[in-house]
Every structure is written in C-alpha cells, then in structure tokens.
Amino acid sequence: MSVDPTADPSAAADLEALYAGLDAARLRPLWTITDQLLTPTPRPKAVPWLWRASEMRPLAERAIRLVPVERGGERRVLSLTNPGLGGRPYAAGTLWGALQCLGPRESAPAHRHTPGAIRFVLEGEGVWTTVDGDSCDMRPGDLVLTPGGAWHDHTNGGDGNMFWFDGLDLPMVEALDGVFFEAHPDFNQAASGPHNRSEDEYARTGPGMGTLVPGAVTDALDPEPSPLLVYRWSDTDRRLSELAAAGSGPLTTLEFTNPRSGASVLPTLACSAHRVAGGDLASAPTRRSGNTVYVVYRGEGTSVIDGQRFDWTAGDMFVVPSWAAVEHRSGPGADLFGLSDTPVLRALGIYREETLLGPQEVTRVFG
Ligand code: GTQ
Ligand code: FE2
C-alpha cells in the first residue's frame, strides 16, 4: 500500500499493530488475500482423479458381506473422496459421487432430503427404487432420478448383487446451508400402484425425440425436477447410435432432459451420455466452469485432463474439475455417463466454456 515500512521504523510498528488489531477483531484485509480469492480462472480444490472398478468392486463385495443395510447404517454407499478436498467425502467441490450396492433381497430404508440425487445403474438386476410411491425398475445403463424432497428407498427383489452410481448435489446444498433430512415412518414406503408409472406417462412425450437431446441444454431453466423418473438404456443407446451415424466426430454427446420443459433433469444437476467413437481419435479439448463426474459404462479408453492421462475401463469413475481441459479417446469405442452442476452455473449467469481447437484457436461461449 502507500506506506513503505522500510522507510520509517515507527510506521512499520504501526502497520504491525494494525494487522494484529485486525486479526484480533476478526477482520481480514482484502489486499493480503485478493490473489487467492479473485482468481483469473476457477481454481477448484478438487483434483482430476480416477477410481478404478477393479479396486472399488472387491471392497464393495466385502461391504455386502460384512455390513448389513439397516436403520442406523441406512445405505451401503462408498463415496468418491477427492484427495484435493481435505478429507471431505465429495468427488468434487459441488458434487457427491458414490458406488452403492445391495445384496440379494436387501432393502435400503425410505427417507427424503433436500439434496437431489440421480442413479446410473452399472450392474445387476431385480432392483427398483421407489420414488414418492412410483417404483422404478433399475437395469444396467438406466438413469433413475430421486429429486430433492421425494421419498425414496431401494429394494433388491432378486438373488444377485446390484451396483450403481449415485450422484447428488449434496455439497452445493450444504454450501447453501440448506440440508434437511427425514426418515420415512415405515422402513419401506408403500408403492401406490404398478411399477414405472412416470415412464408410462412421460417417456414418449416432450420436445423433439422425447427426452434425449444432442449436445447440452443451454436455454431452459426449470426449478421443477423432471416428472419422468427413469431413462432407459435402450433409448439412450439407440439415440447415441443415430447421432453417431449422422456423423458427430470422435465424441457424440446427448443430455437427458425434462420432458415438460426441455431443461436438465434436476434444477441442480445435468446428466449426459457420451459415445466415444472407436479408432483412438481424440475429441477436441474442452473446458467448462463447474465440475463433472464421469462413469464409464462400456468399453475402455483414455481421457487427458489438464495434461494428466487417465486410462479407464468399464465401471471406472473419474472427475474433471472446473475449468480443466479434457479430451477423450477410445480404441474399441466406449460409452460414458456424465453428471455435472451446469444448470446452477447457467441459472446464475456464470457459466463459461471453451473449446481449444488448435494452438491458437479458441471458441468461447460465455453465459
Ligand atoms: O440412496 O438415498 O449416495 O441418501 C447418498 C445419500 C445415496 C440414497 C447416496 C443418499 C443416497
Ligand atoms: Fe437418499
């Protein structure tokens, strides 16, 4: 600042006393910390990271054998814990990601909470999630929504283990000091009719070809969650094939949308599916504000995240933190599921993305 403490020892002592006084009064001078706060570009604490199915899977199987699912224990969930977040159990600063598993004939108790959740099914059969009385059958590749405030419980009516990815906006809701949780009076809520009623009502309606749109949702914001609670892999797969056949390059992306409004599936969360074409062609490196968790559904490949290489295979999960440049490629071809916080950034007018085409060329999209 304007005072040069080396010029005048008493001024130096005054300045030191000022800083001590500020500290004691719990005031912090912005001029000492502005560089860490108003950074030129986002500086997420979460780091690029990959969790391998080969490591998670045996641990999940041990948990199925050793830890029962019951009131008190609640859910058998292994949270992706990003090493950049100082031990907080989050995949990224804004996103919860986890592997959940249920053994044969097990059930996880009914409850509701303000954070919203999505499930992307990896493996197994015979499980359904009941959402406000509507039991949604879960099969590999399906996306199931449990919007904030909706009662939900999971039941395995089959004889095998079941594994799925959970994504929640919990860290965002926590940052807003808005977490409420409530256990249902009954262990499982009663289903109020046949299974998959939201699917029967909404799966074949909505803007365009149902609910799977190419690219990302850019204009529609909806504070209401999607009334459609389940998106079937057979539809996702077919739509990806159509788009890829129409020639979309090394990466074909679609977003799951709310059939009522065309918005992202939840007010806080966007879900996407990505087909990485075989042949090892890299997609254009892209960076976005906001965090993304990817789940590898099929195939194998490589993503380069801010210069770091991650080789992945089916069942792996990885995080692309805000503003990290990412490109994907695959030899045999692969399908990825993506979860991101984009709707929140868009709603607040702070979303940015850019595609790095070559050494000099950059396509910027602000807002
Ligand atoms: O299945 O309801 O991964 O409430 C974290 C919190 C799953 C669930 C998680 C949850 C659930
Ligand atoms: Fe829950």
pLDDT tens digits for 328-354? 999 999 999 999 999 999 999 999 999
The Cα 290–Cα 211 span in angstroms is 23
Distance 253 CA to ligand 1 centre (A): 27
From 168, 172, 179, 339, give the residue whose CB has the most ligand 1 atoms within 8 Å, as the site to mutate. 168
Phi, psi of 10 (to 5 degrees): -75, -30
pLDDT in tens, 233-264: 999 999 999 999 998 799 999 999 999 999 99
Distance 125 CA to ligand 2 centre (A): 20
> What tokens does 3 get?
């005072």
User: In CATH terms, is domain 49-366 a member of 2.60.120.10?
Assistant: yes
Mean pLDDT of 121-150: 97
Amino acid at 245: A
Distance 144 CA to ligand 2 centre (A): 12
From 74, 76, 88, 100, give the residue whose CB has the most ligand 1 atoms within 8 Å, as the site to mutate. 100
pLDDT value at 142 more than 60 = yes
Q: Residue 130: CB within 6 Å of ligand 1? A: no
Q: Residue 168: CB within 6 Å of ligand 1? A: yes
Distance 259 CA to ligand 2 centre (A): 24
Residue nearest to atom 7 of ligand 1 (CA): 166
Distance 76 CA to ligand 1 centre (A): 9
> What tokens does 287 get?
């960076």
Residue nearest to atom 3 of ligand 1 (CA): 166
The Cα 153–Cα 175 span in angstroms is 25
Closest CA to 270 of 232, 303, 226, 327: 226
Distances in whole angstroms, Cα of residue 282 to Cα of each of 215, 247, 325, 330, 336? 17, 15, 13, 8, 15
Strands across the sheet with 77-79, in order? 77-79, 96-102, 162-168, 117-123, 143-146, 230-231
CA atoms lying within 13 Å on the CB side of residue 30 = 3
pLDDT in tens, 310-319: 999 999 999 9
Q: What is the DSSP letter of 350?
A: -
Q: Residue 260: CB within 6 Å of ligand 1? A: no
- Among 15-24, 168-177, 214-223, name the one with the lowest average pLDDT: 214-223
